[in-house]
Structure 1
Amino acid sequence: MGENSKQIILTYEGVKKIEEELEYLKTIKRKEVTEKIKTAISYGDLSENSEYDEAKNEQAFVEGRIATLENMLKNAKIIDDEDIKTDVVSIGSVVKVRDLEFDDEFEFTIVGSAEADPAKMKISNEAPIGRGLLGKKVGDKVEIQVPDGVTTFEILEIRRQ
């Protein structure tokens, strides 16, 4: 089981984002890179042509990203809204928690690793907080190992997005 065959869990929103990026890369970005390569070739000598090298590197990156995204979609398990439970934390759940030490409230959305975006409080099911919250119920107190020690969260609410 290589990295490529690992099942990727996505919400519909995640699938849409990947499809949009794919569309952009396949249409606009591919054309841009092809134009850059053509322009660079027109400068002549390719052996000392940094524009050509850059354009070829960019092309390799774009094609690699396209392959990665297509692979993600091919191996994706898409979570339907009906699959998202509200009695226990699962992938796709929005979880409201209270940090008992600092008495702060947070809302995390538990997502598959491909959709994780900590800045938007989208936490991977494979990250310590995501793993710690999975399967828990409202009222549960959960101790989670974080980089600077242990945090205790009390689960206040579980809902769908």
Structure 2
Amino acid sequence: MSNDAPETFLTQDAYDRLATELEHLSTTGREEIAKRIEAAREEGDLKENGGYHAAKDEQGKQEARIRTLQHLLKNAKVGEAPESTGVVESGTVVTANIAGGEETFLLGNREIASGSELDVYSEASPLGAAILGLNEGDSTTYTAPNGRSISVEIIKVTTYTGQ
């Protein structure tokens, strides 16, 4: 991963929750998985040992989550959601007319809105990249992953309040 990764906005609550998860996975989580792998290894033939393979798979997923959290926290800009000035930026709630239908979503990282009903779009997604920096009333188009051109009009930009 490059060192010039973009900053990700996180609320203090989200940062603290993710830091706690990272601490748990890096210590207790690793110890627990190592014990399960060792116990499964002692059962004998590893080729046919489903418990061993399941534990190794879980270990791989856990290590991937640890790397994701480390990267996210390292590149996090922690604080209050940016006060909306009508400009689409990371950490704002956007209401937009997308291909003829109105949608309201948070622009940022899905970790911010854990437990929220809001959909979340990354700034790096095709939609997020297309609307970043636009003002209320602005329109643009972006190319979806399927190659289709999609029109977007920014209706409203508000401050994220955590709901």
Deviation at 1:127, TM superposition (A): 1.1
4+ residue runs of structure 1 moved beyond 6 angstroms? 113-117
Match of 1:138 in 2: 136
The answer on whether the counterparts of 2:81 and 2:159 sit within 8 Å (CA) in structure 1 is no
Residue 126 of structure 1 and its aligned partner are, at CA, apart by 1.1
Which deviates the most, 78-87 or 108-117?
A: 108-117
Normalising by structure 2, we get a TM-score of 0.72
Match of 1:107 among 104, 113, 120: 104
Residue 120 of structure 1: CA displacement?
4.5
RMSD: 3.3
- 1:23 is displaced (CA, Å) by 4.0
User: Does the aligned pair in 2 maintain the 1:95–1:157 contact within 8 Å?
Assistant: yes
Q: Give the Cα separation in 1 of the matches to 2:26 and 2:69.
A: 11
Residue 124 in structure 1 maps to residue 122 in structure 2: yes
Structure (1 or 2) with the greater helix fraction? 1
Q: Is the 8 A contact 1:9 1:114 kept in 2?
A: no
What is the one-letter code of the residue matched to 1:78?
Answer: K
C-alpha separation between the residues in 2 aligned to 1:148 and 1:46?
A: 46
Whole-angstrom distance in 2 between the partners of 1:107 and 1:51? 44
Q: Pick the structure with greater CA Rg.
A: 1
Summarize the Cα distance change of 1:8–1:116 in structure 2 as closer, same or farther, 3 Å threshold: farther
Question: What does 1:5-154 align with in structure 2 at a 5 Å threshold?
Answer: 5=3, 6-12=5-11, 14-26=14-26, 29-44=29-44, 49-74=49-74, 76-81=75-80, 83-99=82-98, 101-102=99-100, 104-112=101-109, 120-146=118-144, 147=146, 149-154=148-153
Q: TM-score if structure 1 supplies the norm length? A: 0.72
Aligned length: 155
CA positional deviation for 1:111: 0.6
Question: Percent of aligned positions with the same letter in both sequences?
Answer: 28
Cα deviation for residue 58 of structure 1 reads: 3.2
Residue pair 2:107, 2:122 contacting (<8 A) in 1 also: yes
Q: 1:4 to 1:23 in 2, by over 3 A?
A: same
Summarize deviations over 1:82-141 as a string: whole Å, max 9, x none: 644423111111111123x53x21112111487699x94211111111111111111112
Q: Against the structure 1 CA distance between its residues 59 and 144, is the aligned structure 2 distance closer, same or farther, given a 3 Å change threshold?
A: closer
